[in-house]
């Protein structure tokens, strides 16, 4: 039996599924450092946090427990807008892939994406396939990590968003 979610339902399962891919892709930085990908945020720490919880100083330290807590507080803020714009029932892993994308690109960008447009039109597989090549630029440059994350690259063993979406 597939586990699925509608807006307002299954949030815990979606966040748990997204966390498994997100923490692998983002890694964990226990010390705040300059954000080198040009997002406009001067610092990054924990699992890709920027200034969501206020300004941090370069070199500021965090414990693994603090990082886990910050991520737990952060993800619902990204999931709620997605649940509002996705109009069809989705498998948990499919919504988790969208949540992971929203964590990086913002929920508004994901809600306007070809993934959500196809999903809302009833083409879930097509929506998952649309991850390929979507949002691969950052600061005007094609970023290998984003290409891998969205589409999957030969030699990159990490599960990507497209694969997680299709697993749903």
Q: Is the per-residue pLDDT at 137 higher than 50?
A: yes
Could you tell me the pLDDT band of residue 7, with boundaries at 50, 70 and 90? Answer: very low
Structure tokens at 131: 């991850």
Structure tokens at 47: 């699992």
What are 59-107's pLDDT values in tens digits? 999 999 999 999 999 999 999 999 999 999 999 999 999 999 898 888 9
Mean pLDDT of the chain: 82
**113 phi and psi, to 5 degrees?**
-75, 160
Please report the pLDDT score of residue 43 as a whole number. Answer: 86
Share of the chain above pLDDT 70, in %: 76
Note whether 118 and 50 are within 8 A (CB). no
Q: At 2, is the secondary structure helix, strand, or coil?
A: coil
Helices (H), the chain: 11-26, 64-85, 92-105, 107-111, 114-120, 124-129, 144-151, 161-167
Among 94-103, 118-127, 153-162, the range scoring the smallest mean pLDDT is 153-162
């Amino acid at each position: 039996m597939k586990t699925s979610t509608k807006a307002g339902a299954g949030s815990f399962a979606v966040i748990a599924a997204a966390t498994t891919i997100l923490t692998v892709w983002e890694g964990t930085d226990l010390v705040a450092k300059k954000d080198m990908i040009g997002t406009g945020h001067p610092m990054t720490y924990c699992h890709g946090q920027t200034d969501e919880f206020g300004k941090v100083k370069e070199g500021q330290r965090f414990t693994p427990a603090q990082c886990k807590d910050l991520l737990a507080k952060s993800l619902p803020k990204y999931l709620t807008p997605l649940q509002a714009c996705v109009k069809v029932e989705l498998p948990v892993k499919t919504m988790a892939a969208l949540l992971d994308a929203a964590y990086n690109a913002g929920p508004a960008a994901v809600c306007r994406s070809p993934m959500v447009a196809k999903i809302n039109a009833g083409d879930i597989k097509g929506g998952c396939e649309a991850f390929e090549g979507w949002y691969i630029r950052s600061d005007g440059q094609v970023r290998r990590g984003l290409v891998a994350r969205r589409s999957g690259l030969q030699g990159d063993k990490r599960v990507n968003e497209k694969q997680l979406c299709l697993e749903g």
